[in-house]
Amino acid sequence: MIFSDDQSRILMLRTAYQIYWEIPGGDVKPGESPYAAAWREVREKLGVDVPVGRMLGVDWEPGDAEGDKLLFLFEGSRLPADTAFPFTDGGVTEARYVPAGELESYTVARLARRVRAAMRDEPAAYFEYGELGIPLAT
């Protein structure tokens, strides 16, 4: 999910298992909807129970090692910048709000593109590897 604060900065997470920062989220389990997975992952990663917002987009990401992926991007609640997260899964080590223009300093280019594309003030859209594709019907 993509969370922002009152200055429109993006919530990024440092984890013990990635070399780059990422947004809250994770894999969909068998029998689980992408919406339910987003809600569960935020509870597990951040230790807070917040509702999942509107769908911002779907991104197709090719992958040789793990296979191609569809990434569902949902809007998270606007949270105060000083929110203290009781990281509960042990994998998250730090959370920080980052200006959209500085995302590449924290994460890989494809995730920075994906987040910026999803944050547009337009209907949900389809992306390919973080590049804007065809708008979804509203």
pLDDT category at 133 given cuts 50, 70, 90 is low
pLDDT band at 91 (very low <50, low <70, confident <90, very high): confident
Range of the domain at 9: 2-135
Rounded to the nearest 5 percent, the helix, strand and coil shares of the chain are 20, 30, 50
For 115-133, letters b (16+ CB in 10 Å) and e give bebbbeeeebbebeebebe
Give me the pLDDT at residue 127, please.
80
What's this model's pTM, rounded to 2 decimal places?
0.86
- Long-range pairs, 82-88, Cβ under 8 A, ≥24: 83/48, 85/46, 85/47, 85/48, 86/46, 86/47, 86/48, 87/45, 87/46, 87/47, 88/43, 88/44, 88/45, 88/46, 88/47
The CATH number linked to 78 is 3.90.79.10
pLDDT (mean) for 25-36: 93
Domain count, the chain: 1
